[in-house]
Amino acid sequence: MATEVKQGGQDAPRTDRGPETTPSRSLEPRTLVRPGIILVLLAFVLLALPSLFSTYYVDASTQTAIYAIVALGLGVLVGRVGMVSLGQAAVLAIGAWVAARLLFATSLPFPVVLLASGLITMVLGTLVGLPALRMSGLYLALITLMLAGAITVVLATTNFPNGGHGFLGYNGSSVHIPPIRRPSAAQGDTAFFRYSVIISILMFLLVLGHLRSKPGRAWAAIRQSQSAALAAGINVTLYKLWAFALASFVTGVAGGLLAGSLHYLYSIDFQTQDSITLLAVVLMGGAYSMWGAILAGFLLQFLPQLFTSWGISPDWLTILFGVGVLQVLTTAPRGIVDQMPKDMARLGRLLMRVVRRPEPSTSGET
Amino acid sequence: MIEVSEMTVRFGGVTPLDKMSLRFERGTCGLIGPNGAGKTTFFNVLSGFVRPVSGSVTAFDEDLLKMVHYRRARWGLRRTFQTEQAIEELSVFDNVAMIHEHSKLGGGSRRQEVIDAIRFVGLDIDPDTKVGGLGAGQRRMVEVARAVVGRPRLVLLDEPAAGLPDDETEHLGNVIRRIPEHSEALTILVDHDMSLVSACCEVTAVLDFGKLLASGPTAEVLRDERVIRAYLGTEDTGEHDS
């Protein structure tokens, strides 16, 4: 392929570029570095991490993995298609409700329940996305927030299933509430952590597959210019709904994992404003990157536990996230995952300069 | 072949196209006119972004206006925009592949056809380069590559040379001239650069105030006094002098 393009350049008038721009499609060692690093990281997370952590932090890590999926879904909407949804925490609640209901009512294997809650949430979440076809920006954000509020109200009155009968599966007078079951292979906290990480990997791969193919290209076009997308033959309506469907599916699966990890679900744990915090951390982490989703999950679920163990109230995080979003929006629109390596490189250069210079003229850096 | 008859477009009190009729046979055709003459509105009608009040468009024996806008790319309609719309997040390859995969028109491997289109416009860069890092001229060529990939039947170029330096305009002209032989598409070029229009188009039509002012071989049209007057805006005094 590469040589063909070069030939093409020769009969064209502009051949001002030298051979250094030869396309590198082949699997050079350089292109294998990234997957290699990811594999090592995954092996570390799956094998070594649980033994380094206490149960407290293993649980926090499980939540981090689960919320990374939620952030991933929101990242698709905000970062890839440019649709700001403030309803994703409510979509997560729907996923958790459906999964809990199925886990109590049936003896289906856990993965099947995850799949089912993903699919059912996908249908409902796509309905949440319907307003996106008519509006965008602030109005879409507002409408999805209202929808999220409505869902929260409904959940507050129906409550989460707790082993009762009927469609709602809620028994208000029950004294001995049975826990929501976990997969038989992952009963313990460490096993369930590994299970959650593996499911998140699958969700990340699902989204990556979308981004690298036809829908990803269509979304990029829609985000930049709807007219350019239409002129390219892209059915904008279909692909916008597709994005909501994908985001809702992964969020529904995350809801299923959440049900299993917590054992008990209470409607008070799902607040409308969680969606706003979610958007804030997704923007902070980096809505355009898959790594940003992992960072968002960490900020949202791991950091509060760290704060608690340090004796600081996690409520301070709201302020921290506010400052973080401000910082990101003004100086690093692509998020922390994009900014960190650049800052590190800059710091490295700065340190090198300080080290090389014999007399410390700038005393502050070291 | 494209035939437009009696097309009227109204935006409130403004009538950008007023019973405009136009006919282009084949090859690369120019469409010129002063600012606000209705050229871009005409393109937007063909793209399906603007719905005309009345009139019809027959392109290659099909009623273009009946088609849903996003289906028109599949039919073979391509366009570039006045403000260039190459998708920054995507690579050069993906920009072109994006159109190809939504407009399947017969055989040929996608990869090959996309590479062919990139090669055709003379883009001598790694197809995996992100468009966001390219210069204005290269982005224009990415847009042109998108317009010629697959099997286009009708290519609309809306001021492709706007803002380009002379050498890049010349290169663009060379590419535009070769579009008909590359894809057998009818190309309509809107531009204010008369040397580019003269170099590329055998026939040219002139719009003024939403109406067809003149149409015919480019050299003749550009010498037409009514056309000169429309551009210079000396309608009354010009009449007496000549």
Does some domain include residue A250?
yes
For residue B124, give the chain A residue with the closest CA: A9
A335: domain CATH number?
1.10.3470
Q: Structure pTM?
A: 0.84
pLDDT in tens, B104-150: 655 668 888 888 888 888 888 888 888 888 888 888 889 999 888 88
User: What radius of gyration, in Å, describes the C-alpha atoms of chain A?
Assistant: 23
Does some domain include residue A34?
no
By CB neighbour count within 10 A (0-12 exposed, 13-18 middle, 19+ buried), where does A195 fall?
buried
The answer to whether A205 contacts chain B (CB < 8 Å) is no
Domain that holds residue B219: 2-241
Chain A contact probe: residue of B75, B110, B119 with most A CBs at under 10 A: B119
DSSP state of B132: G
- Comparing CB atoms, the residue among B111, B126, B146 nearest residue A232 is B146
Alpha helices, DSSP H only, in B27-66? 39-47
Nearest C-alpha of chain A: how many angstroms from B227?
Answer: 31
Chain B contact probe: residue of A25, A31, A211, A217 with most B CBs at under 10 A: A217
The answer to whether A230 contacts chain B (CB < 8 Å) is yes
For residue B143, give the chain A residue with the closest CA: A228
How many domains does the structure of chain A reveal? 1
Does some domain include residue A5?
no
Chain B contact probe: residue of A16, A211, A234, A289 with most B CBs at under 10 A: A234
pLDDT at B234: 60
Does some domain include residue A175?
no
Mean pLDDT of chain B: 84
How many domains does the structure of chain B reveal? 1
Does some domain include residue A349?
yes
Does some domain include residue A188?
yes
Task: Decide: A59 and A189 in contact? Cβ < 8 Å.
Answer: yes
Residue B85 and residue A225: Cβ atoms within 8 Å?
yes
Percent pLDDT > 90 in chain A is 34
Least confident range from A23-27, A114-118, A303-307: namely A23-27
Domain that holds residue A82: 49-166+181-356
ipTM confidence score: 0.86
**Residues of A with Cβ-Cβ distance to B99 under 8 angstroms:** 232-233
B43: domain CATH number?
3.40.50.300
pLDDT in tens, B157-184: 998 888 888 888 888 888 898 888 888 8
Does some domain include residue A214?
yes
- Amino acid symbol at A300: L
Does some domain include residue A56?
yes
**Dist. CA A121–CA A104, nearest whole Å:** 18
pLDDT in tens, A67-87: 999 999 999 999 899 888 998
- Comparing CB atoms, the residue among B49, B71, B125 nearest residue A17 is B125
**Residues of A with Cβ-Cβ distance to B120 under 8 angstroms:** 8
Residue A6 and residue B124: Cβ atoms within 8 Å?
yes
